[in-house]
Structure 1
Amino acid sequence: MFELLFYAVPALMITGAVFALVGLLRRSRDVHRAWDGGLTAEARCLQTYTTTSGGGETSVRTTLHHVYEFTTREGRTVRFDETNGPGTTIPGDIVTVHYAAERPERATAHAPARGKLAAESGCLVAFFGVFIGGCVLFMVVAHAIFSMADGFLP
């Protein structure tokens, strides 16, 4: 029963890493499609706010959010929230947003920077790959240790 802990905890960590990886890849794809969509519009920054995570024994991380609103070429009003925008953008500012016609709600106010997006995504994919690999290696080693210990116990 004690051995189950050495499988369950890494399995939960792997599950969390996979969900984070899927979210990262989905957002990266959405931003890439918005840049490739070829459509731009002027958007107004409606609000900025921050969220914090961590604390206690871990470091605190603050994330800046911007809420933008724009009108598509078809006349549809779209409002979206985007993280990690420039700290110099304040409510009332007008910015250029990029969007794909089929998914304007997944627009981005980030200026096209395909190389930066690929580098960030690649580094995070590599990090999650190493993390997941480390969890799997831990489970394999734990299994080997418990298998050897079974041979020595009466």
Structure 2
Amino acid sequence: MDALLYLVPAVITAGCVFGVVQVIRRALRTSELWAHGLTAEGRCLNTYAKTSGGNDAAVRSTLHHVYEFTTREGGRFRFDEAGGDSTVVAGDHVTVRYLAERPQWATALEPARGRLIIGTGVVVVFLGVMIAGCVLFAVSAHSAF
């Protein structure tokens, strides 16, 4: 029973640390695409919404776009991106930014560094609070027993 008092917070902490690493990694990748990425004309192939929640929880929808573009080297790539402009519909042409060595990491999001920094910061702070809570719980459980 005592092992659960340490195991559960450790698993939650590990998941939060993994989340922090992924969020920071994605923000750095997006920032690099905006700063150093090559541009190509892309086309929106499809849009769809993913919904989550329901029952007793609030329903949340996220708009996704499926884009296709051709690199300067002639390679054709498709990618799915969440959170794009809601006015972009199938058939619209967009500017795609990609890295020559990693075209699969492309984005059609317009550069918005402030939004990227704030969004990343909020998620990192939230996960940091969860990590601190897990550590505090484990320490207080250790002190109590």
Normalised TM-score (structure 2) = 0.90
Q: Deviations over 1:18-39 (max 9, x none)?
A: 2222221221122111112241
**Counterpart AA for 1:33:** E
Q: Deviations over 1:40-80 (max 9, x none)?
A: 11111111122233344433332221110001111111111
Alignment of 1:30-109 (within 5 A): 30-109=29-108
Distance change (3 Å), C-alpha of 1:14 and 1:110 = same
Check conservation: 1:36, 1:100, Cα contact below 8 A: no
Computing the radius of gyration over CA atoms, which structure comes out larger, 1 or 2?
Answer: 1
* Identical residues among aligned pairs (%): 55
Q: Distance in 2 between matches of 1:102 and 1:128?
A: 31
**Unaligned runs of at least 5 residues, structure 1:** 147-154
**Unaligned runs of at least 5 residues, structure 2:** none
Normalised TM-score (structure 1) = 0.85
Number of aligned residue pairs: give it. Answer: 145
Distance change (3 Å), C-alpha of 1:15 and 1:111 = same
Per mean C-alpha deviation after superposition, the further-off stretch among 81-90 and 52-61 is: 52-61
Given the alignment of the two structures, is residue 128 of structure 1 paired with residue 127 of structure 2, yes or no? yes
**Any idea what SS the aligned residue of 1:22 has?**
helix
